[in-house]
Amino acid sequence: MNKKILEDFISTTREIQNLMENQSAICYQKKVVPKLQFFALKFISQNKGITIGEFANVLMISSGAVAQLIERLVNKGWIKKEVDENDKRVFHLSLTVLGEKEVIKMDDIFLNKMTSMLSLVPEKDLEKVLEIYKSLLEKLKKEKYSIC
């Protein structure tokens, strides 16, 4: 493969991802919800009952950092921690009713922002890019690559 094309692909993909992430902070009620909190709420909503340890592994952050994040979300009333019946050292995470409502609000705001950003590109072009990305993703999932 042409090295220049490969380097351009990687840098362009990273730059687009960074720009979209930076411009997609969730702002509502004159507050900004950090990306990590938004991601955490979304992930917990999709993985009800996940343990704190599993959650820390997904985020790839220290147990101390994840504890602080969880505490913030608990204090806002968005998630709850429940002790595991079999192992009192393990806690499971789930959204509260308030947390579920916040996820719906955040999703709406996020989708509106993404729609606005992606409206800069004709829909046919987006469909082509999506088709290429899905094809690449499917092929990568089938392959086993070693880091070394």
Domains of the chain with CATH codes: 22-120 (1.10.10.10)
* Gap between the Cα atoms of 10 and 137, Å rounded: 15
Cβ contact 66:56 at 8 Å: yes
Amino acid at 60: M
Residue-level pLDDT at 36: 81
Helix-helix angle 52-59:35-46, to 10 degrees: 130
Residue-level pLDDT at 140: 84
pTM, two decimal places: 0.69
* Gap between the Cα atoms of 95 and 81, Å rounded: 9
Residue-level pLDDT at 31: 57
Residue-level pLDDT at 43: 92
- The mean pLDDT values, 10 residues at a time, for the chain of 148 residues are 88 84 60 75 93 87 86 95 90 94 86 86 94 89 71
3-state SS record for the chain? CCHHHHHHHHHHHHHHHHHHHHCCCEEECCEEECHHHHHHHHHHHHCCCEEHHHHHHHHCCCHHHHHHHHHHHHHCCCEEEEECCCCCCCEEEEECHHHHHHHHHHHHHHHHHHHHHHCCCCHHHHHHHHHHHHHHHHHHHHCCCCCC
